[in-house]
A and B are shown apart, each in its own frame.
Chain A
Amino acid sequence: GAVVSQHPSWVICKSGTSVKIECRSLDFQATTMFWYRQFPKQSLMLMATSNEGSKATYEQGVEKDKFLINHASLTLSTLTVTSAHPEDSSFYICSARDRQGSQETQYFGPGTRLLVL
């Protein structure tokens, strides 16, 4: 149980294009999902907290107009990297909290590797 999937698992795009990444909770409902970014050999940095039915809360330094987050249902959150540039190349990981489970636990997706040429 408590499986989180991400799609796509990897994507290569040209500079200036937009890329959408999906995060799904497969066997539970998630009112809260989180988006992280991880550069090579570095730790995970929280980008934003995604709340179902409301606006996402962004961490300091993260541009909300560049990283659009939509959490339209209890099982799906999307992150769109708009007008991607090479410096946006990174590993993007989402996590989800079970609506009916412990609020201390997050279940992580397998990550999406983005390469912007």
Chain B
Amino acid sequence: SQQGEEDPQALSIQEGENATMNCSYKTSINNLQWYRQNSGRGLVHLILIRSNEREKHSGRLRVTLDTSKKSSSLLITASRAADTASYFCATVHGGATNKLIFGTGTLLAVQP
């Protein structure tokens, strides 16, 4: 299976703290994307980082990519209770369909 793994599986922090989630994958990629899913809902696209990029920022989000280690991290700074959700990385490995392969996910709980 190409499915990536994320750690930690679950993370509980206080409001204002930073949250870091890690994603590892198995085969070479075209790009890696991070998504957020609130409980029982659809997915929201957060950020995309290409294989030739090492770091990307979007608001309070910072994503890094290390293709030599086949890993990525998502940092959420100054977390808020509203950031409570599951976060998934998804990799695109090329091919005609550019399909997404999702990681196992991290459940983030931000305590007010």
Interface residues of A (CB under 8 A from B): 4, 6, 32, 34, 36, 41-46, 49, 57, 91, 93, 95, 97, 103-111, 113
* A49/B99 contact (C-beta < 8 A), A43-B104, A104-B31 known: yes
Q: How many residues of B contact A (CB 8 A)?
A: 24
The number of A-B residue pairs with CB atoms under 8 Å apart is 57
Interface residues of B (CB under 8 A from A): 3, 30-31, 33, 35, 40-45, 48, 88, 92, 97-105, 107
The chain A residue with its CB closest to the CB of B30 is: A104
In Å, the complex CA distance between A95 and B102 comes to 13
B102 touching A43 by the CB < 8 A rule?
Answer: yes
* A43/B105 contact (C-beta < 8 A), A108-B43, A113-B40 known: yes
* A46/B40 contact (C-beta < 8 A), A104-B92, A105-B45 known: no
